[in-house]
Structure 1
Amino acid sequence: MFGFGRKKTVGKRGEPLPESHDGPPDSANPSGLCPRCEKQSSFDFVGSLPLTFDGGYIVSRDGPNVPTFHEQATVMLCRNCHQGIAIIEEQWTGEHRSIERKGGGISSWKGFHWWPLVGATLHKAVPVTVASAYHEAALALSANCPRAAAAMARRTLEAIAVDRGETTGTLAQRLANMSTKGLLHPTLSDWSREVRLIGNTGAHFDPINDVSPNDARQLIDFIRELAKYIYVLPFELNERRAAKP
């Protein structure tokens, strides 16, 4: 329960390895998925600066009073790609954000925004036209604009259809053609229709059927998997074959 006696993962030289963590790093957990290289890594702390002050002060006997803050910007360095990332963090006390002033516990800093954006880039095998539209969708989602994210997810799907040779007809017709040609697995084809429909909702005003952040996140996650299926897996297979003697 408390982690006593827990075995640590070590590398070939006996060095401690970071615990697997699906999310990006922050001061509370300086290991995880690097937003730049998208590899599991540990991170070195570079420094932090206060961002949002809460009106309080730490009274000092020997110097000026120090204003307290509940948000900070932290920079860390990935040990895998040796590149820096920026994290916007908020202070937590126990299980609550410190600004809520609820309960007590250990103080920690947890991230809620990362730069570069997590999952905002696609593999080098993905065409620029597709990757660019996807990047805008991810940017919109990170800015809490789910309708814009859904609309750009739909545009990404259109870019994929054009890249696969489907340049005429409605998007629905293009997706149907791709499915008929075997370019889309039936499950992917069904999901593509969801992207098209929710993307339409995001692009046009509809007071009843709006786009939630979760809708937009699922669409972007799907687009990422679709790009992997269409572009990345064939690319990696060809590289593997080329590497064989």
Structure 2
Amino acid sequence: MSREYRVGYTFPLVCPHCEKPALVTVTGEAAGGGVEEPPYLLELVRCGTCNEPFLTVEEDYGQGWDGPGVLWPEQLRPLSHHVPQSLRREHEEARQCFKAKAYTATAVMVRRTLEGVCSDQGVSGVNGRSKPLVKMLEQLKSDGKIDGRLLEWAQALRVLGNEGAHFTGTGVSREDAADGLALAEALLDYLYVLAAQFDAFKARRVKNKDTGQSGSQS
């Protein structure tokens, strides 16, 4: 199913530059796909509020055209639905702090995300008493939920969060806050996304073996 927009077509969208709802105008377009990939429409648009250009894309996977999404400038991808909502909320708040250039607050929210991970994984403490975060992260490794490298990452994030939470006379740098966000996201992906994907892979392999649909062997 083809779709054509005329240059000059105007539609509402949140601008990735000024981050405001605006009427954007198509200034150029190009269509593609339709053979080995779904049809898509690329549109170069300009924000009616800040006048900055950006690139959008629409695709049709057989259920009709989806809404235009921003392709450039690159946007932060949403966390997978496999990550518990409470943890997605904490991490999103850390992202919002970073976007607002509140880098020390970003580090604190990353630490809160770590605490949330430990709580969700059942290592928040015993008999109603919480363990120090350093001990909870070590418990994750002892339980086989993360490996040594991930523990090292998590402990580095804990230290970064401590630096953000306590007055030291200096703030957290943009680079450290950005790395903290990325490492926290990698930890969430490992525990909730890749683990679920691997479990599904193993289950599928067992099912195929039981039904005689084995893969090639070398």
TM-score using structure 1 length: 0.57
Structure 1 counterpart of 2:141, one-letter code: S
> What does 1:49-198 align with in structure 2 at a 5 Å threshold?
49-52=47-50, 72=52, 74=54, 76-79=56-59, 82-86=66-70, 111=73, 117-119=75-77, 121-167=78-124, 168-198=130-160
Cα deviation, residue 73, structure 1: 5.3
Partner of 1:230: 191
C-alpha separation in 2, matches of 1:221 and 1:204 = 22
Secondary structure of 1:83's counterpart equals: coil
Cα deviation, residue 161, structure 1: 0.2
Structure 2 counterpart of 1:200, one-letter code: N
C-alpha separation in 1, matches of 2:96 and 2:45 = 25
Structure 2 residue runs of 5 or longer lacking an equivalent are 1-15, 18-25, 30-38, 125-129, 209-218
C-alpha separation in 1, matches of 2:150 and 2:174 = 21
The structure that is strand-richer by fraction is 1
Contact 1:51 1:73 survives alignment (8 Å)? no
Contact 2:57 2:70 survives alignment (8 Å)? no
C-alpha separation in 2, matches of 1:218 and 1:43 = 34
Structure 1 counterpart of 2:172, one-letter code: V
The structure that is helix-richer by fraction is 2
Q: How many residues align?
A: 164
Cα deviation, residue 134, structure 1: 0.9
Indicate which of 161, 179, 191 corresponds to 1:218: 179
C-alpha separation in 2, matches of 1:127 and 1:80 = 29
Structure 2 counterpart of 1:72, one-letter code: E
Secondary structure of 1:141's counterpart equals: helix
**Shift in alpha-carbon separation, 1:205–1:240, aligned structure 2, 3 A:** same
C-alpha separation in 1, matches of 2:40 and 2:149 = 36
C-alpha separation in 1, matches of 2:58 and 2:167 = 42
**Shift in alpha-carbon separation, 1:143–1:42, aligned structure 2, 3 A:** farther
C-alpha separation in 2, matches of 1:234 and 1:197 = 26
Structure 1 residue runs of 5 or longer lacking an equivalent are 1-24, 31-40, 53-70, 88-109
Contact 1:133 1:155 survives alignment (8 Å)? yes
